[in-house]
Amino acid sequence: DARVTQTPRHKVTEMGQEVTMRCQPILGHNTVFWYRQTMMQGLELLAYFRNRAPLDDSGMPKDRFSAEMPDATLATLKIQPSEPRDSAVYFCASGLGQAFGYTFGSGTRLTVV
Amino acid sequence: KNQVEQSPQSLIILEGKNCTLQCNYTVSPFSNLRWYKQDTGRGPVSLTIMTFSENTKSNGRYTATLDADTKQSSLHITASQLSDSASYICVVSGIRQTGANNLFFGTGTRLTVIP
Model pLDDT for residues A28-84, shown as the tens digit of each residue = 998 999 999 988 888 888 998 989 988 888 788 889 999 999 999 999 999 999 999
At residue B104 the predicted structure's pLDDT band, cuts being 50, 70 and 90, is confident
Neighbours of B75 (CB within 10 A): 24
Neighbours of B92 (CB within 10 A): 24
Q: State yes or no: pLDDT of A1 exceeds 80.
A: no
| Chain A residue numbers touching B34 (CB-CB < 8 A) | 101
Residue B79 forms contact with A (CB below 8 Å): no
CA dihedral A52, A58, A61, A67 (to 10 degrees): 0
Q: State yes or no: pLDDT of B99 exceeds 60.
A: no
Q: For chain A, give the number of residues.
A: 113
pLDDT recorded at residue B1: 58
Phi/psi of residue A37, each to 5°? -130, 125
What's the CA gap between A68 and A53, in Å, rounded? 9
Neighbours of B12 (CB within 10 A): 12
Residue of A41, A98, A100 best to disrupt the B interface, most CBs of B under 10 A = A98
| Chain A residue numbers touching B91 (CB-CB < 8 A) | 43
At residue B17 the predicted structure's pLDDT band, cuts being 50, 70 and 90, is very high
| Chain B residue numbers touching A95 (CB-CB < 8 A) | none
What does the pLDDT look like over A85-108, one tens digit per residue?
A: 999 999 999 988 765 678 899 999
At residue B97 the predicted structure's pLDDT band, cuts being 50, 70 and 90, is low
Whether residue B9 contacts residue B109, with contact meaning beta carbons closer than 8 Å, is answered with yes
Residue B56 forms contact with A (CB below 8 Å): no
Residue B99 forms contact with A (CB below 8 Å): no
